């Protein structure tokens, strides 16, 4: 999820040139439309243009993959018309990213297990639990901060002991202390150390990193593969959610992240996690939705990509404002995804969590805006 930034920050962005791999155009884009020297603003799709090296569009195929099968391999739920995973994100552990490592209760908070119990009681079975890598380790290869790990593990174990799934989400955007992670070996070590803690919990799912963006596409592939390799080196056999560049957007996935089909896993349990919001720029920062049909429209290309490449996916973040147009768009998207449950394995709302207050998408029971407006709809898909 892209958090809102200040108006002054937006003004600064509008006046500067866009940097390497950053956005430089697209529908309703108000920032810079020029790139730094050596990069050219290239249209990826009607909603997104990106600064890429030279004057040619970026190549997204990094290696020759084997011909995909006609249907997804190791499909956990082959076209039953029902999702395997339905639930919410559980935000809080990643809050206060401007103050790292920060103080529990002041800068960040762990999810409320009583609220999670309420959601489990509604039938939800999957919770993507956010954390901040820098709070867990001071460097990519350092030992764990035991207090932070204990607080996080308490939530994860509570979820899984109830029979639900906990998705471990380092909410870092492919960065560590604000810098793009380029050391794939160190990233692999980080994941090896973290996965070791949870390798025997069969209701844990690993999420390589939240919303890589404005990064070299080859690096995004390499980081995902490094995470997979680190996790599997521990003997862990659970599902792994991989994420793509440009905020892992479903609407731009085939154009931006086609190279991700080259990922390999000895357990054959890769699930491609994509995010999809329904406002004008797919950022999830507005209560408005483009139209009542935009939800289904924005996931069609990604659906075709999954089918063509024999892959399976999940919408790991989505949301809409509390209004009738958004509700129709959300329902249309969920219906379309469920109709294609041979490749779409679930949906996770953004987001629950104890510190959301009156946030427009809050799914924190009992009073969250999103929970009150969308709970009856979302739970009909469990």
Q: Which residues carry out catalysis?
A: 211, 317
Helix (H) or strand (E) holding 40: strand 39-45
Q: DSSP 3-state assignment of 276?
A: strand
For 71, how many CA atoms within 13 A lie in the half-sphere containing its CB?
Answer: 9
Residue 108's nearest CA partner among 353, 362, 364, 365 is 353
Backbone angles phi, psi at 329, to 5 degrees: -65, -40
- Give the residues across from 275 on adjacent strands: 249, 317
Tokens of 98: 């401007």
Paired sense of beta strands 204-207 and 313-319, if any:
unpaired
Q: How many CB atoms lie within 10 A of CB 55?
A: 8
Paired sense of beta strands 204-207 and 165-170, if any:
parallel
Query: Is the peptide bond prior to 351 cis by the omega test (within 30 degrees of 0)?
Result: yes
d(CA 332, CA 335): 5
């Amino acid at each position: 999820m892209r958090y809102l930034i200040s108006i002054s920050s937006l003004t600064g962005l509008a006046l500067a040139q866009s940097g390497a791999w950053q956005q430089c155009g697209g529908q309703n884009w108000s920032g810079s439309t020029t790139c730094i020297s050596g990069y050219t603003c290239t249209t990826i799709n009607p909603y997104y243009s990106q600064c890429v090296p030279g004057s040619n569009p970026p190549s997204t195929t990094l290696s020759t993959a084997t011909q995909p099968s006609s249907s997804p391999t190791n499909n956990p739920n082959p076209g039953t018309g029902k999702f395997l995973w339905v639930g919410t994100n559980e935000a809080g552990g990643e809050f206060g990213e401007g103050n790292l490592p920060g103080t529990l209760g002041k800068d960040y908070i762990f999810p409320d297990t009583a609220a999670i119990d309420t959601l489990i009681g509604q039938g939800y079975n999957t919770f993507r639990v956010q954390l901040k890598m820098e709070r867990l380790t001071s460097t990519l290869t350092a030992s764990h901060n035991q207090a932070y790990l204990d607080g996080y593990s308490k939530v994860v174990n509570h979820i899984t002991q109830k029979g639900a799934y906990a998705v471990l989400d380092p909410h870092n955007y492919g960065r560590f202390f604000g810098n793009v992670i380029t050391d794939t070996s160190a990233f692999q070590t980080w994941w090896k150390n973290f996965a070791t803690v949870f390798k025997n919990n069969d209701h844990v799912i690993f999420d390589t990193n939240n919303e890589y963006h404005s990064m070299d596409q080859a690096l995004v592939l390499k980081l995902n593969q490094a995470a997979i390799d680190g996790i599997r080196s521990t003997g862990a056999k659970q599902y792994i959610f991989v994420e793509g560049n440009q905020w892992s957007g479903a609407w731009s996935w085939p154009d931006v992240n086609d190279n991700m089909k080259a990922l390999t896993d000895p357990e054959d349990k890769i699930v491609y996690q994509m995010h999809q919001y329904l406002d004008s720029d797919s950022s999830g920062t507005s209560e408005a939705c483009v139209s009542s049909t935009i939800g289904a429209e924005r996931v069609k290309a990604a659906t075709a990509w999954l089918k063509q490449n024999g892959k399976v996916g999940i919408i790991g973040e989505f949301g809409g404002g509390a209004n009738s147009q958004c509700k129709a768009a959300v329902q249309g998207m969920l219906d379309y995804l469920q109709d294609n449950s041979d490749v779409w394995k679930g949906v996770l709302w953004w987001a629950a969590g104890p510190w959301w207050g009156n946030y427009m998408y809050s799914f924190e029971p009992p009073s969250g805006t999103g929970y009150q407006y969308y709970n009856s709809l979302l739970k009909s898909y469990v």
